[in-house]
Amino acid sequence: MVIGGGLAGLSTALRLADADIRVTILSKKILNEGSTRYAQGGLAAVLSEDDSFQSHIDDTNVAGVGLCKSDTVEFVVRNAPRSIKWLIDRGVSFSLTDENQDGEYHLTREGGHSYRRVIHAADATGAAVEETLEQIVRRHPMITLLENHVAIDLITSKKLGLGGENCCLGVYAFDQNEKKTVTLPCQHMVLATGGASKVYLYTSNPDTSTGDGIAMAWRAGCRVANMEFVQFHPTCMYHPHAKSFLISEAVRGEGGKLIHADGSRFMLKYDERGELAPRDIVARTIDFEMKKNGYDSVFLDISHQPAELIEKHFPTIQQKCLEFGLDITTDPIPVVPAAHYTCGGVVTNLDGQSDIGNLYAVGETSYTGLHGANRLASNSLVECLVFAESAANRILATIKKYENTSTISLPIWDESQVTDPDEQIVVSHNWEELRRCMWDYVGIVRTDKRLMRAAHRIQLLQEEIKDFYSNFRISNDLIELRNLVQVAELTVRSAMMRKESRGLHTTRDYPNLDETQTPQETILTP
């Protein structure tokens, strides 16, 4: 079983299904409603002769500020080109340098990269990848789709009091169509549920990014790591009706400049790389400039580039901006930072294996050590592909080991002690309070006092949510809120443990790197 319908989930499922393994994909909405669909930039890989694996490795390590795992970085970088070829072989149409040149792909450069190495499909790479794989998945005879099913909790042998290795036996899921909870057994489970940026008030992510896989794995007994490192994308469109529409990193890669309303640039005052500095630096700088000057936003201007270039490489962004009365060939785009990517997650090895037998985590749900303290642009989709292959290979190698798990009788979901909720205001109010609390106290810049305030409020919210969850029938909103408050607690606990500023974790109480010891992961154990 694969939980999640983005690139991580679909590519894992397809690799298994192509090897004649029956796979069920559980998707909380329709299949294409995950974060992959909204990824604009592309996939980073060494695809040109002037580039090198070592350069990509070095750039990843620099962005990760000393916390990337060296074996993971090398593993992903060296396997990335083959993974992209796998996508091309399945029909993904990436942009060409010239439509008349067959097979010569256009590569763009994004912040933190030393070379042009980001392959893309105009400015809608995620949509192109998602739609291509979705079509294959929907007609694959070895794949069963369960859409509009929200995973609630993993079923493990330890929870059932069985001896031997603790392994995953299945999952409870809420069928949103039938409004009932079902028990779904499996021999192997892959969590590919994406990140948790919906825990923040402002995010570039879709509504599905509620940390479900991380929270479920934690409750099942898995370690999580580096949850304090939340990447805020520097440039989301600032407009009351835009709902944090992402303005791709590639706009800056193709010459876009960050400016104030008067047209003055400011990035070079903070970093010699200017607009091409890593995301953590750009996001912090924008946040500082906005607060210092009392601005609602800054502006991203690419209007100095030829209109033909803009229209060719950024048709989606151009069309969306036109809907809000902005022509990016002549007008600057108002932008602000927004929560974008969860660098921490469920601890796995290079096979995607978690602490629990036959339970895997792939993509943004996982912590592999690739991103360290800050994710390098366009490394995320590549991570999904590389670990989908390694996890699938590991499952294929161990498929017989867990054959007996399918014979274990799993208990059905018990609703005998709960009633219909008398009112939903508790859920909606706690949802709003949690996300605002995280934005105000656990955002781009933190302090010990802010974190303590957040921890206190989250504890109170957890108690209220637990009481509501225990006494009333579940709903999609309640399941997601329960997961979000768990992720919020893990994020705050991790942030309180790190007594330094590193990468995406910036605190005024410890403004510098801790140079007295080797950088350490922040690992939490249930």
Residues in Cβ contact with 477 at an 8 Å cutoff, skipping those fewer than 6 apart: 424, 427, 428, 431
**Residue 252 designated active-site:** no
CA distance 4 to 368: 18
Going by C-alpha positions, the residue among 412, 415, 422 that lies closest to residue 468 is 422
Please pick, among 279, 394, 482, 502, the residue that the annotation labels catalytic. Answer: 279
Cβ–Cβ under 8 Å, residues 194 and 381: no
Tokens at residue 260, please?
């104030």
CA distance 137 to 127: 15
Phi-psi region of 203 (alpha: psi -120 to 50; beta: other; left: phi over 0): beta
The three-state DSSP-derived secondary structure of 144-201 is EEECCEEEEEEEECCCCCCCCCCEEEEEEEEECCCCEEEEEECCCEEECCCCCHHHCC
Q: Which amino acid is at 38?
A: Y
CA distance 368 to 346: 8
Tokens at residue 95, please?
């942009």
CA distance 58 to 251: 23
Tokens at residue 361, please?
């985590």
C-alpha 167: how far from its chain's center? 25
Regarding beta strands 180-185 and 168-175, do their DSSP bridges make them parallel or antiparallel, or are they unpaired?
antiparallel
Backbone dihedral angles phi then psi of residue 428, each to the nearest 5 degrees: -65, -40
Which residues form the catalytic set?
A: 279
